[in-house]
Amino acid sequence: QQPVQSPQAVILREGEDAVINCSSSKALYSVHWYRQKHGEAPVFLMILLKGGEQKGHDKISASFNEKKQQSSLYLTASQLSYSGTYFCGTEHEEGGGYNKLIFGAGTRLAVHP
């Protein structure tokens, strides 16, 4: 039931773009995205609810494809501060918004000058 994240790791130069995917085998109610830097707690980025919406702030945005049960996180014009491990947390539809999050194994992103 754990969502599958791809790729496992990405190396970028400053200014390059990246896409991180999160796929589930079960119908999803929501997808939550977090970024975690080494030795720190995960930091909330955004939530997407079923309905195929897209969200974003600054140069980080995400989409949720309900038909594919997949969410993608888009990082554009990457900055050094974007480095870290990105996790998606998925909530299954059967919970209707009252279920726990199940996190993927993470995607490690390194941005170099």
Partner 1 sequence: DTGVSQDPRHKITKRGQNVTFRCDPISEHNRLYWYRQTLGQGPEFLTYFQNEAQLEKSRLLSDRFSAERPKGSFSTLEIQRTEQGDSAMYLCASSLALGAEYFGPGTRLTVT
Interface contacts to partner 1, rule CB under 8 A: 2, 32, 34, 40-44, 47, 87, 89, 97-98, 100-106
Q: Phi then psi for 81, rounded to 5 degrees?
A: -70, -10
The residue type found at 44 is: F
Q: Smallest distance, Å, CB 32 to partner 1?
A: 7
Q: Smallest distance, Å, CB 105 to partner 1?
A: 6
Cα dihedral sign, 59-45-88-109: positive
Beta carbon nearer to partner 1, 19 or 49:
49
Contact, 91 vs 99, CB < 8 A? yes
CA distance 59 to 51: 22
Beta carbon nearer to partner 1, 82 or 87:
87
Beta carbon nearer to partner 1, 16 or 102:
102
Contact, 57 vs 47, CB < 8 A? no
Q: Provide the token pair at 38.
A: 């080494």
Beta carbon nearer to partner 1, 68 or 100:
100
Q: Smallest distance, Å, CB 84 to partner 1?
A: 13
